[in-house]
Amino acid sequence: MNVLILGGGVVGVTSAYYLARAGHQVTVLERQPGAGLETSFANAGQVSPGYAAPWAAPGIPVKALKWLMMRHRPLVLWPRLEPRLYGWLTRMLANCTEEAYRRNKGRMVRLAEYSRDVLRDLRTETGIAYDHREKGTLQLFRTQKQLDHVGDDTRVLDAYGVPYTVLDPAGCIAAEPALAAVPDVFVGGLRLPGDETGDAHLFTQRLAAICEGLGVTFRYGTAIARLHHAGDRVTAVETAGGELLRAEAYVAALGSYTPALLRPLGIALPVYPVKGYSLTLPITDAAAAPVSTVMDETYKVAITRLGDRIRVGGTAELAGFSSALRLPRRETLARSVQDLFPAGGDLSRAAFWTGLRPMTPDGTPIVGGTRVANLFTNTGHGTLGWTMACGSGRLLADLVSGRAPEIASDDLALDRYAA
């Protein structure tokens, strides 16, 4: 078929790759001048199936109130007269039950582990390089209370067969030798050896080049104005320049901007932008930098080694579509990396970035068909877009092609919200 993909981030480009591999004629529309220049540009760098879990969980409402009171708070809520925000928060709170958490966690782990395996196959197929490492994730606990509650996490990991090791301080230092310089900052950790790291932007750009070799057309600098439809089918995409582009199937992969595009079709996507921030700093002492990813549990900050750089990512800010770089968020990221890797990189030369993560109330992305027969969605991945991109792209290609996916997928589509 002739397929139009709307969006050229990591999710849109992986969708293009697998659709092209399946034999379809694919065109990607992207408003930016290149691939992976928005939310995929400077994320935390983790490919973390072991860390795949919904934010909506038992106890989160109480924790969220505490986070909002912290000086270096991981959660920021800007009061706004926005019904969509409060509707989304209400649905998220409804998912903060044991039953909902188990259901949502199961969906996310299934897709995330599949995605990691598909990414490994893609590396073998293409030889793509993107500053990747296969050295796991270390969740670091600063307080004994955090360590005492590690069983809350490991019980879930046991249920889904995710390998892990609970570490004392010496074990943490064995996994991340640079932590030997700050032994008083932490009391233990949880290591997830199956996790990986890599530069999502570099991956997206290089995979886009591979896609072009497979015949995929990229239309950069092409903003989308609206979808035309008749009956239960999309008939064309209208660009901001007034051009009408037609295909047999359409894939909406516009991240946080997907709901606005689909709303005129009567499709209500429960996706809201959750703003994240990152710092990228050059490594000044390789021995004092992280080996892989360290998750600072106190500040909910990820510190990742990407080649000769350190990426520090975190914060969940509910501020609509604001792209303002707020200095207090920078201070939180800087505090975390200074505490744990004080001699690893040069903060004075750090690049400060923000992006909008497309979040669903239950944490699970929305991948699959819609009530419009030839329209598919691949969005709502939240903080796990990089982790789930390859699996989502492969799954989406199977669904568009009419093939049975390799994993269960019925509960990933939009109609789960109608259940």
Per residue in 334-383, pLDDT (tens digit) is 999 999 999 999 999 999 999 999 999 999 999 999 999 999 999 999 99
User: Which of 19-28, 52-61, 239-248, 365-374 is least confident?
Assistant: 52-61
- What confidence score (pLDDT) does residue 360 get? 97
- What confidence score (pLDDT) does residue 76 get? 84
Helix, strand and coil percent figures for the chain, each rounded to 5:
40, 25, 35
What CATH architecture does domain 2-41+202-270+363-417 belong to? 3-Layer(bba) Sandwich (3.50)
- What confidence score (pLDDT) does residue 103 get? 92
Task: Determine which helix (DSSP H) or strand (DSSP E) holds 281, and give its type and residue range.
Answer: strand 272-282
Domains 2-41+202-270+363-417 and 46-106+119-196+272-359 share a fold: no
Task: Check whether 187 is labelled as a binding-site residue.
Answer: no
Question: Per the structure block, which two tokens stand in for 419?
Answer: 């259940």
Nearest to 308 by CA among 341, 281, 348: 281
Q: Place 82 in a pLDDT band, splitting at 50, 70 and 90.
A: confident
Q: Place 145 in a pLDDT band, splitting at 50, 70 and 90.
A: very high
The answer to whether residue 419 scores a pLDDT higher than 60 is: no
Burial (CB count within 10 angstroms: exposed 0-12, middle 13-18, buried 19+), residue 66:
exposed
CATH T-level fold of 46-106+119-196+272-359? D-Amino Acid Oxidase; Chain A, domain 2 (3.30.9)
Task: Check whether 7 is labelled as a binding-site residue.
Answer: yes
Pair 360, 366: CB distance under 8 Å: yes
Task: Check whether 9 is labelled as a binding-site residue.
Answer: yes
Pair 77, 315: CB distance under 8 Å: no
- What confidence score (pLDDT) does residue 290 get? 98
Task: Check whether 344 is labelled as a binding-site residue.
Answer: no
Taking phi over 0 as left and psi of -120 to 50 as alpha, with beta for the rest, 127 belongs to left
Residue ranges of the domains in the chain? Answer: 2-41+202-270+363-417, 46-106+119-196+272-359
- What confidence score (pLDDT) does residue 213 get? 98
Torsion of CA 34, 37, 41, 47, to 10 degrees: -70
Task: Check whether 11 is labelled as a binding-site residue.
Answer: yes
Q: 3-state DSSP call for residue 408? A: coil
The answer to whether residue 39 scores a pLDDT higher than 80 is: yes
Q: Place 62 in a pLDDT band, splitting at 50, 70 and 90.
A: confident
- What confidence score (pLDDT) does residue 151 get? 87
Nearest to 232 by CA among 24, 372, 26: 372
Tokens 């609509």 sit on residue: 320
Task: Check whether 265 is labelled as a binding-site residue.
Answer: no
d(CA 251, CA 379): 10
Task: Check whether 5 is labelled as a binding-site residue.
Answer: yes
- What confidence score (pLDDT) does residue 78 get? 82
Digit-coded pLDDT (tens) for 310-332: 999 999 999 999 999 999 999 99
Task: Check whether 202 is labelled as a binding-site residue.
Answer: no
Task: Check whether 4 is labelled as a binding-site residue.
Answer: yes
The answer to whether residue 155 scores a pLDDT higher than 90 is: no
d(CA 154, CA 279): 30
Helix and strand element counts for the chain (H, E): 11, 20
Task: Check whether 235 is labelled as a binding-site residue.
Answer: no
d(CA 299, CA 67): 9
